[in-house]
Structure 1
Amino acid sequence: MKGRFIVNPFPTVPLSPSDASQLHDLAKSLVKAGLERYSAFLKNDNRQVDQQRWKLVKSRETARVYMEKPVPGNQDSQDLPSLLCVGTTTGQLEDLMFGVVNPTLEVMRIKASYVDDLSGAAVLANVEEPTLDEPFKSLVVKWMELDIPLHTTSLVKNRDYIYAEAT
């Protein structure tokens, strides 16, 4: 675990009920759009990755992750880049989800101790917390700093992000 991953460097961000509702609606619409793209991949693309549209960014065993290539001539696009994961992995979906869902700083620390890819992270706001009945349903506003190779040489700096994580 990284040395700077000790305390939350930011205070909790207070969200008004209106802000929380808007964030919840945004997360729902993004998840819905992602599921629609996945359905189109299954039905229209016959589960075949279009190499003209998708760039391979990572692979491990039989799973591959692709990033959608930008549309040429569309520099002003506000679209967020999409990722597509194709393939299989051994294990249970529940185990995977417990590795993905980390709605508290303590759980993030545990994950970081195994994965070792973050130099810092914080939960800024919990909009929807998991429950015993729905342990994988959450909406959290987070900050994270990613370790970038060669950051100790001063050639590059670590990158940090504020994002909403919805499951």
Structure 2
Amino acid sequence: MPSWGPSPFGPPLQLSVEDANRLGEIARVFVEDHMKSYEKYLHDDQRRLDERRWKFTKQHDGVRVYAEQPLKERRKSGATTQDELEREYRHQLQRNLIRSSSKATAAAAASLADLPVCLAVGTIAGTLDDAMYGMVNSTVEGMRIKSSYVGDNMADGAVLATIVEPTAGDPFHSLTVKWMENAQLQVLRPVVKNRDFVYLETPPLDGRVFCNVNVKKKTQ
């Protein structure tokens, strides 16, 4: 497993109740928004991507990753009709939340506007246990085990704050602020430094969508 040192940020963050609630609302709004986008891609778009909107960036095994093109670039290419509808959907979601919710939710909704979006499409071979276990890593030790298991080149990491801690009765409900340092390939290390990120993590579960599992019956 990766050999990680102490957090470079010192002791855990001391979040106020207001800050914790705001981060919780941001996580909820993002999950709801992207669940709707996923179901639209699955059912309405029949798993087809608009190549004018999504630019292919890389592929790993059976998963392809796309980056959403800036609206300005899509206007140049004339790919605005469907894109404008998508953007209007996002803004309508934000307006509805702002009208009906708290200041924390309004701030969360505003955070959705004009953020860069990546889309990963494909399948990953594995078991349901693999997927479920990969979501439960709300501690540093869990992060280390997951990193070693999936081989994601994480050089270091830390849990900066735990807002919602998973329980035995609800093990997939958690909300944490994390830091990670991503190691570069050996050949790039002389010229490219490791990159690090601070991010908010919550399992993307809403009670309706978890994952698609293709179960193949074994032949005797």
Q: Aligned equivalents of 1:60 and 1:156: distance in 2?
A: 21
Answer yes or no: is the 8 Å Cα contact 2:160–2:178 preserved in 1. yes
Structure-to-structure mapping, 1:48-67, within 5 angstroms: 48-67=48-67
* Matched residue type, 2:145: I
Residue 108 of structure 1 corresponds to 143
Q: Aligned equivalents of 2:147 and 2:73: distance in 1?
A: 39
Answer yes or no: is the 8 Å Cα contact 1:2–1:116 preserved in 2. no
Give unpaired runs (5+ residues) of structure 1: none
Q: Is 2:188 the counterpart of 1:148?
A: no
Shifted more, 59-68 versus 112-121: the winner is 59-68
Q: Aligned equivalents of 1:84 and 1:126: distance in 2?
A: 27
Residue 30 of structure 1 corresponds to 30
Shifted more, 110-119 versus 32-41: the winner is 110-119
* Structure label with greater radius of gyration: 2
- Structure having the larger proportion of residues in helix: 2
Shifted more, 106-115 versus 21-30: the winner is 106-115
* Matched residue type, 2:119: L
- What secondary structure, in the 3-state scheme, does the structure 2 residue paired with 1:6 have? coil
Q: Is 2:170 the counterpart of 1:134?
A: yes
TM (norm. structure 2) is 0.65
TM (norm. structure 1) is 0.84
Give unpaired runs (5+ residues) of structure 2: 75-111, 204-220
Task: Give me the CA root mean square deviation.
Answer: 2.3
Residue 156 of structure 2 corresponds to 120
Q: Aligned equivalents of 1:58 and 1:96: distance in 2?
A: 22
Residue 86 of structure 1 corresponds to 121
Q: Aligned equivalents of 1:84 and 1:43: distance in 2?
A: 16
Give me the identity figure in percent. 44
Give the aligned length: 163
- Structure having the larger proportion of residues in strand: 1
